[in-house]
Amino acid sequence: MNVRWSLPAGLVAMALALLVARALSHWGAAPERPPATGASVAPHPPVRHPRAPVVAGPAGRGFYPSDPGALGAALDDAFARATPPAPAGRVIGLVVPHAGYEYSASVAAKAYTLLRGAPPGTIVLLGPSHRVPVTGGAIAEYDSWRTPLGEIRVDLDVARGLCRTEPLFRIDSAPHAEEHCLEVQLPFIQRVAPEARIVPVAVGGGAEASGTAQRLADALAAVLRGRDAVVVASSDMSHYPETSDCERVDRAMLVAIASLDPHRLIVENTRQLESGVRGLECTLCGLSAVEVAVRAVRGLGAHRSQVLAYANSGQVVPSTRHRSVGYGAVAFLGEGAVAGDGPAALNAAQRARLIAVAREAIRARLRGEPLESGQSTDPVLMHPAAVFVTLTKSGQLRGCIGCTEPELPLMDAVAHYAELAAFSDHRFQPVRDAELPELCIEISVLSPLVRVTSPDDIVLGTHGVMVTQNGRRGLFLPQVATEHSMSRDEFLTRLCTEKAGLPGDAWQHGAQLFVFTVERFSEERGAS
């Protein structure tokens, strides 16, 4: 039995008042301290009473409004601005932020709006425990949670199933008593999926280093398989660099999340933390929760992701520019998704906008300033796309980096890979400020990759080619063949040796070949 229910009513009221006061003292863009780690208590049956809201408050005092009318208005405003591209497939999981609504509600709404058309029956909420140590996954001992909009029921069948399947799932209310990261999700859920039941889970920090994440994910996949369920990971992004650094770190982490590769996620987290970014305390305050979600949705059939939105506190409240927190929204998609779907053909204005974004991304990095391009309302520019950005100077290559699968919205992808081409292409020294006026920027937007069974299917000058074998891969854009007057055999041989680190004849001995086309444009010439 939970000990607090044996206390006198007066002491209970005082304790609850203290909890509310302490919770409201933590409102704002980000938590005061990183998630805690430690041990949970042994499982026991959930008690039958609602968990009351602890971080709702009057204007300026809580994470979200305690007045139902004000809360409804805040949600209406956030959803009115939520226009992400329609996902090409069933939503299996989401990553959402959990800061005060002033900072992150519009980002979260762009994720939750995807559930409106086909609301799930169960939503498993995974988030960090910012104040109380947790090992594994702590499930609160309530049969419902209350918000100013009413109660939302807990899926006790799923909660008990997780505890039976994996001992790392425990019943423990302590981490949830003052925790905001899951509570702030509930009003969104009540708007888009009012009949859904929830399973709130506090995930212990450090799960990624111990193998715990895979065990938790395996249990989630086993219990949820065949159910109408969605996994939602609650996490803010980088804490607390300058706004310009915040955006760069977060863009790299969004690419890692979107890769659906948990190893890449952890490696990128380490790389960013060791990169010397001033003020950076973490890349994801819910890193373990996000990793568990990535592993779980893979087990549930997700094979594509879509970055939906991004913002940081410095963009919303300028006074936080020197100590910013990032917020991102990502969807994990299952059957029905067509990997590699690209945006529609670009018109002249869209191409000009992308070139300007690429140049501004390089200029902003050189000057240590935030990228001011902002979000676009153009659905073509916000559609996920695979892109390469190529830099030349006096006709000579100065940098070229990109991706082969859609990872970010087109405009964000161009900014990301323009910056990498300028500063992270290992073949060249980083671009200097004096060089910027001399650079020519070329953007190639890739079509979906299609495997070919014979080199004879490759059309030089039209097809770019990716080769893969034994875990190695390399890619040539179609213009490489024409600009260097290569034969098909030379093109494929050099692709193997120069880009994939394979033997030159690997393309003749079992290597897989994939072709694609590009929409290519630059400052100096139109699309070709």
| CATH code at position 498 | 3.30.1490.150
Residue 238 lies in a domain: no
Q: Which of 416, 443, 470 is the last residue of a domain?
A: 443
Question: Are 437 and 361 in the same domain?
Answer: yes
Residue 269 lies in a domain: no
Instruction: Report the domain count for the chain.
Output: 2
Check whether residue 430 and residue 469 sit in a common domain.
Answer: no
- Give the residues across from 197 on adjacent strands: 122
Strand partners, 93: 231, 332
Q: In this structure, are 465 and 510 located in the same domain?
A: yes
Tell whether 467 is covered by a domain. yes
> What span, in angstroms and rounded, lies between the C-alpha atoms of 23 and 32?
11
Query: Does 91 fall in a domain?
Result: no
The residues that bridge with 515 in the sheet, in sequence order, are: 450, 465
Residues 439, 354, single domain; the answer is yes
Q: Which of 443, 458, 480 is the last residue of a domain?
A: 443
Residue 391 domain boundaries = 348-443
**What is the structure's pLDDT at 46?**
53
Does 263 fall in a domain? no
3-state SS, 125-190, equals: EEEECCCCCCCCEEECCCCEEEECCEEEEECHHHHHHHHHHCCCEEECCHHHCCCCCCHHHHHHHH
Model confidence at 13: pLDDT above 90? no
pLDDT at residue 18 tops 60: no
Is 432 found in the same domain as 367?
Answer: yes
Position 497 in a domain: yes
509 within some domain? yes
Q: Residue 84: which pLDDT band, with cuts at 50, 70 and 90?
A: low
What mean pLDDT comes out for the span 349-361? 92
> If you average pLDDT over residues 81-98, what whole number do you get?
82
**What is the value of pTM for the model shown?**
0.72
Q: Which residues are 171's β-sheet partners?
A: 139
Q: What is the pLDDT of residues 484-507, one digit of tens each?
A: 899 999 999 999 999 999 999 999
Do 103 and 325 meet the contact criterion of CB atoms below 8 Å apart? yes
CATH number of the domain at 355, please. Answer: 3.30.700.20
| pLDDT tens per residue, range 240-268 | 999 989 998 999 999 899 988 999 999 99
- pLDDT surpasses 60 at 24: no
Lowest mean pLDDT among 270-279, 299-308, 486-495: 299-308
Higher pLDDT, 40 or 501: 501
Residue with the bigger pLDDT between 30 and 127: it is 127
Q: Are residues 422 and 383 in the same domain?
A: yes
pLDDT of 344 reads 61
CB atoms under 10 Å from CB of 37, counted, come to: 17
Q: Quick one: 406 and 479 in the same domain? A: no
Mean pLDDT across the chain:
85
Name the residue with higher pLDDT: 246 or 31. 246
| pLDDT(209) > 70 | no
Q: What pLDDT score does 250 carry?
A: 94
Integer-rounded Cα radius of gyration of the chain: 24
Structure token pair of residue 177: 């008593």
Residues 438 and 455 in one domain: no
